[in-house]
Amino acid sequence: MPPTDPFSLERFVMAQTPLLDTALAELRQGRKQSHWMWFVFPQARGLGSSSTARFYGLRSLDEARAYLAHPLLKARLEQATQTVLALGAIDLHALFGSPDDKKFLSSMSLFALASPTTDTPFHQALERWNKGRPDEATLRFLGQPPPTA
């Protein structure tokens, strides 16, 4: 019998459950202060070098699609992304600090690419903060061609 969670997505549910309210409150206040970026806005596994980044990094577009197919994880990611979007034209560096500002764009790129439509908060975030362009490091990791000018 195949495993019901082949990508071990439950690791995100377990990490988010005690800290999601804190993460959302920090976002609403306009400044990330604690450590939750890896599991609230996951990025491609090969982009971070810490053991935590590797543990929460997504290995493929298939894993990102499975994340979006998980009702709770998709809802939480969309809620967190909408919370950032609601801040308007806030500077990502002021909100997240470095390097988490880059991690946010990487996460938005990964989930925009994994989404079946372009009408998502991930696409909206890329449009607002990266001129609609996906993060090039994420594209390289996924073996995708860079965007044309």
Task: Of 43, 67, 47, give the one whose Cα is nearest residue 56.
Answer: 43
**127 pLDDT band (50/70/90 cuts)?**
very high
pTM reported for the whole predicted model: 0.94
pLDDT digits (tens, 9 = 90+) for 91-124: 999 999 999 999 999 999 999 999 999 999 999 9
For residue 95, give the amino acid letter.
L
Judge whether 1 lies within some domain.
no
Judge whether 56 lies within some domain.
yes
For 127, the domain range is 10-142
Q: What is the DSSP string of 89-108?
A: S--HHHHH-TTHHHHHHHHH
Give me the torsion for CA of 78, 65, 9, 101, rounded to 10°.
-50
Judge whether 147 lies within some domain.
no
> Which spans in 1-149 are helix H?
10-16, 20-28, 37-40, 51-56, 61-69, 71-85, 92-96, 100-114, 121-130, 136-142
What CATH number should be reported for the domain holding residue 61?
1.25.40.380
Judge whether 84 lies within some domain.
yes
Number of domains in the chain: 1
Judge whether 109 lies within some domain.
yes
pLDDT digits (tens, 9 = 90+) for 68-77: 999 999 999 9
